Amino acid sequence: MIISTDIYYYDTTTQTSQLIPIPIRNTAVIDKSGYFPNVITSSDQNSLNEALALGNTASAVSIEAAIQDKWELTRRLFMVDNFSGKKSTISKVTYSSSIAKQAAFDQALRIAMGCMSTLAACYAMIRTWIWSRRAGVLRLDAMLVIKLILFAAGNISNAFLIVIYFVSIYFLIFYKVQSVYLINLPNSDEFIVIYIAIAFALKCIDLIHLIAVQCTMDMFLIDWEPPKFNRNVNNVNPSSNTDIQLSSRSQSLGKYNMINDVTDDLEARPKKELRSSLPPSSISNQMEDTENLASSDAKSNVVLNSYEYQSPQSRIFRIALILSIFSVIGIIQWLFSITLWERCFSDKLRSFADLCSVANVSVFLFAQSNFGYYIHGHSPTGRSDVDLGGITQMLSIENEGIAPKRGITPDSNDHTYRMALPSGLRQTFNRLYTPLLNLTLNTDKYGKHASPQAITNEVYHNINRYLKRFISRDDPDGLRYRIVRRKAFEDILDGEFDDTTFEGLFYIDDGNSFGDTLYYGNEWLLFTFDALLFCLVDLLSQNLILSAFFVILIGSIFTLLRDDLGRRNTARKTLIDERFLI
């Protein structure tokens, strides 16, 4: 049995300042058989005490040899001859128990990390395979390997975080509540700094990957109602007849700006503002001395006496407390959001889908080449520009329950879908979009004096007409689609396994999975990023307020980056000038 607190006796008998260790017999030690080896008879105890008091080394050795199968000393024992001042060793106790426990802990930690990392790598392979199907990648290439590495980085980061949290919370609970000293802390807590640093680095890669994917998606807004006003009608000096012809098929700028602004607002805004809760929680924990729970003492006192000794804080306990506080705040916000806020006040994704229906504009988004999301915004009335009388009439029809349905099919209100598309649709979309890739090389097609805006309007009109015919099942190339529900196994793995070579599939979405393409729908990634950053800064600084400051600062930098890149991509892909975005 190893006791961490050494008890010493100051000996002045030999007129020398010397501290010698006092032997300790712990009667609470239990061996593997369930016996108490340190509990001896009173006669043996008296004989040993007399031998130690008289300094009789030989007698002590003989007594120790006689009862060594019954009890053990926890420290190395020295006998001092008062006449000669020489020390002689009567027993030696090795620390194999402590070394064995440390070795067992290291092995258990490596096994846990290995198992969780293996599961993370296997899940990354599944995600890579699903991505290859959605992206139309049919063979092994460099991009497929890169995607596997990127998916694995995020999953392994989550695995490291989960293992570190459960290890730290195990030590915090069982070390603090033990009444008999059976569990001791690891000899060094450097391992937790290393794992947290690696997990944060991998999570940074995962977040950058998310931003890169979201800011390169192809998005198009389908206008089901052509504009009623043309800017060149009263233009007495148009630049060319080509501009008049092409501009007559322009898009509805007002409705588009409204949809784009709402999309831009959702793109860079997290669903649950965890960072806003960090400063008050960090300050309150600092003021209420919650950090006292992180001391290495085997007790759980939040408030300490100023004269009471307190051992240094353990970084293992600090990580356990920080991640527990993060988890509690996150769970409370999540429950408040799904049970009260979204039901009674505001559900931004569903409000965005309703806005699309009011504006008579559908959102067609390619997340990958052959996979995307669709919000059917075709208004049941067929018009978005109505007067007050028209609105009153539509509300009356809605109140009577005879209003037409909002879905693609006449008898359905389902208007949000996941799309598994045939490759022919993407090829046609790319062919129609190609003239915008290099306007200089395409001026001859539209006329020598055609302006870039006129070419943009023509490309928009062609894509809008083509997607409207596809949604209406009137595609000239014969492309069709079916509306189905995903199977349970597809929901679990978040993938699509049916063949879409000749026919697309629109999966009915009841949960507005369109949020997966926005910051708004990736709460877990943002939550783990903030938690790992907070833990890493706290491990290096031992300051909660400074950690909260860095989380807010670095998180705001990534949010601004996502907002700027998202605005540029939205303006470029929806063919709307970025200056019109609010």
Give strand ranges (E) for 205-323: 218-223
Tell me the H-state helices in 24-141.
42-54, 57-67, 96-135
pLDDT score recorded for residue 1: 38
How far apart, in whole angstroms, are the C-alpha atoms of residue 416 and residue 375?
A: 5
- Region 5-32 average pLDDT: 60
The answer, yes or no, to whether residue 127 has pLDDT greater than 90, is: yes
Q: Say whether 313 sits in a helix, a strand or coil.
A: strand
Question: Nearest to residue 526, comparing CAs of 198, 276, 207?
Answer: 207
Instruction: Give the whole-angstrom CA distance, residue 271 versus residue 519.
Output: 8
By percentage, how much of the chain surpasses pLDDT 70?
69
Q: What is the pLDDT of residue 298?
A: 73
Average pLDDT, the chain: 77
- DSSP for 494-530, please give it: T---S--SSEEEEEE-SS-GGGGGSGGG-HHHHHHHH
- 182-191 own/partner pairs: CB under 8 Å, 24+ apart: 184/2, 184/4, 184/98, 184/101, 185/296, 185/314, 185/316, 186/102, 186/105, 186/316, 187/102, 189/314, 189/315, 189/316, 191/109
How far apart (Å, rounded) are the C-alpha atoms in residues 249 and 70? Answer: 99
Query: Mean per-residue pLDDT for 459-484?
Result: 88
Give residue 98's identity as a one-letter amino acid code. S
In the prediction, which pLDDT does 448 show?
55
Residue 88 has pLDDT above 60, yes or no: no
- What percent of the chain has a predicted confidence (pLDDT) above 90? 27
**Whole-Å CA distances, 560 to 119, 264, 462:** 34, 12, 34
- Answer yes or no: is pLDDT of 300 > 80: no
More confident: 446 or 496: 496
3-state secondary structure 433-449: HHHHCCHHHHHHHHCCC
pLDDT band at 368 (very low <50, low <70, confident <90, very high): very high
Q: Residue range 133-152: average pLDDT?
A: 92
Dig out the tokens for 541 from the structure: 């600084």
Amino acid at 146: I
Provide the terminal-to-terminal Cα distance of the chain, rounded to the nearest Å: 70
Question: Hey, which of 321-330, 411-420, 531-540 has the most confident mean pLDDT?
Answer: 531-540
The pTM (predicted TM-score) of the whole model is: 0.77
More confident residue, 249 or 178: 178
CB contact at 8 A, 217 and 419? no
pLDDT attached to residue 370: 93
Q: How confident is the model at residue 49 (pLDDT cuts 50, 70, 90)?
A: low
CA dist., res. 479 & res. 481, Å (int)? 7
Rounded CA gap, 366 and 373, in Å? 7
Helix or strand run (H / E) with residue 366: strand 361-368
Q: What's the pLDDT at 325?
A: 87
3-state secondary structure of 236: coil
Top-ranked range on mean pLDDT: pick from 38-47, 158-167, 568-577: 158-167
pLDDT exceeds cutoff 60 at 538: yes
Round to whole Å and give the CA distance between 205 and 472: 41
The pLDDT value recorded for residue 285 is 58
Least confident of 90-94, 324-328, 452-456, 517-521: 90-94
The structural domains of the chain, with segments of one domain joined by +, span 3-77, 99-228+267-296+311-345+520-580, 431-477
Kind plus residue range of the DSSP H or E element containing 561: helix 544-573
Q: In sequence order, which residues have a C-beta less than 8 Å from that of residue 83 and are 6 or more positions away?
A: none
Q: Among 465, 435, 467, which Cα is nearest to 453's?
A: 435
Tell me the mean pLDDT in the region 121-148.
93
CB 496 within 8 A of CB 486: yes
Q: Is the per-residue pLDDT at 461 higher than 60?
A: yes
What is the C-alpha to C-alpha distance for residues 434 and 372, in angstroms, rounded to an integer? 20
Nearest to 529 by CA among 207, 163, 117: 207
Read off the pLDDT of residues 313-336 as tens digits, 9 standing for 90 and up. 889 999 999 999 888 888 888 888
What's the CA gap between 582 and 579, in Å, rounded?
8
Q: What is the 3-state secondary structure (H, E, C) of 261-312?
A: HHHHHHHCCCCCCCHHHHHHHHHHHHHCCHHHHHECCCCCCCCCCCCCCCCC
Nearest to 422 by CA among 474, 493, 475, 369: 369
